[in-house]
Amino acid sequence: MRLSVAVPASLVSEYVNLRDKTEVIGRLARSAAIFRADEIVIYPDQPDESSLIKLILGYIETPQYLRKYLYKVRPELQYVGTLQPLRTPHHQLEAHAINLRVGEFREGVLIDQQGVDAVDIGVERPIRLFGKAPSRGSRVTIKVTKVGPEPHCEMAKKIEIPTYWGFEIQASKKTLGELASGAFYDLTIATSRTGTPIAAEDEHLKAQIVKARSILVAFGSPRSGLQEILRNEHRELADCFQFILNTIPEQGTETVRTEEAVHASLAVINLLT
């Protein structure tokens, strides 16, 4: 099952300073990783801060030893060092080639080592890559095929990996309505304070989750719920989503921030899976 989380491009628009924006994006990343989301989709909304959200999410999701290749020093990233690390399985801490295992998967960056393809996977030195390779400088997923003094590896696909391997980030040009009503997802879930309490739908929802290969869970913006956002597209919530759920019934606060709703909703859906 592929789980996608849709959040608005205006996610951090209520915050004035970059530190606060960074903290919110960091909490979103942690929630997505904790509950094994495969994708975070940023759908168009105003004010549009999708570039900042995508940049910081991508930085957080990238293993620390690869960031020097993939990210230049930028003012937008000045507070990312204050964020909690994801510590997902693809953020390995082991940095010694002698401890590599045949069949182990790693994230790396393809580099040129004396005219041959090699991959920096966070150990003392890059290891030799055999087989077809993408362009140098690309981030790659590899599988270790030989250990010892001269380790080797080959390209791998995420579908081969039996454990959770982080999330992808997509800044979508499609509107929320286009994403939800298209043929992109088997199951679409809208979160709304006015939705049906999830306890009333748990058995029905669980049955649909079991059958689904791809699920979209969508969240509103700091200023507007999903219904209001869709009405700007001349669409209705019920026409776009199969389930409209209140995942925090009888909430104890006047408002629930988007990143808080993401955590609470994914926790409930996790129980059903």
Per-residue confidence (pLDDT) for residue 183, from 0 to 100: 87
Q: What does DSSP assign to residue 124? A: S
As to burial, measured by CB atoms within 10 angstroms (0-12 exposed, 13-18 middle, 19+ buried), residue 74 is exposed
At residue 222, the pLDDT reads 85
Task: Note if the bond before 63 is cis, omega within 30 degrees.
Answer: no
Query: Count of H helices and E strands in the chain?
Result: 8, 11
Segments in the chain below pLDDT 70: none
Domains defined along the chain, listed by start: 2-87+166-272 (3.40.1280.10), 97-160 (2.40.50.140)
For position 93, what pLDDT does the model report?
84
35 CB-near residues (< 8 Å, 6+ apart): 3, 266, 267, 269, 270
User: What's the pLDDT tens digit per position in 39-68?
Assistant: 999 999 999 999 999 999 999 999 999 999
What pLDDT is attached to residue 133?
Answer: 87
- Phi, psi of 231, deg, nearest 5: -65, -25
Q: What is the pTM of this model?
A: 0.95
Q: Position 215: which residue type?
A: I
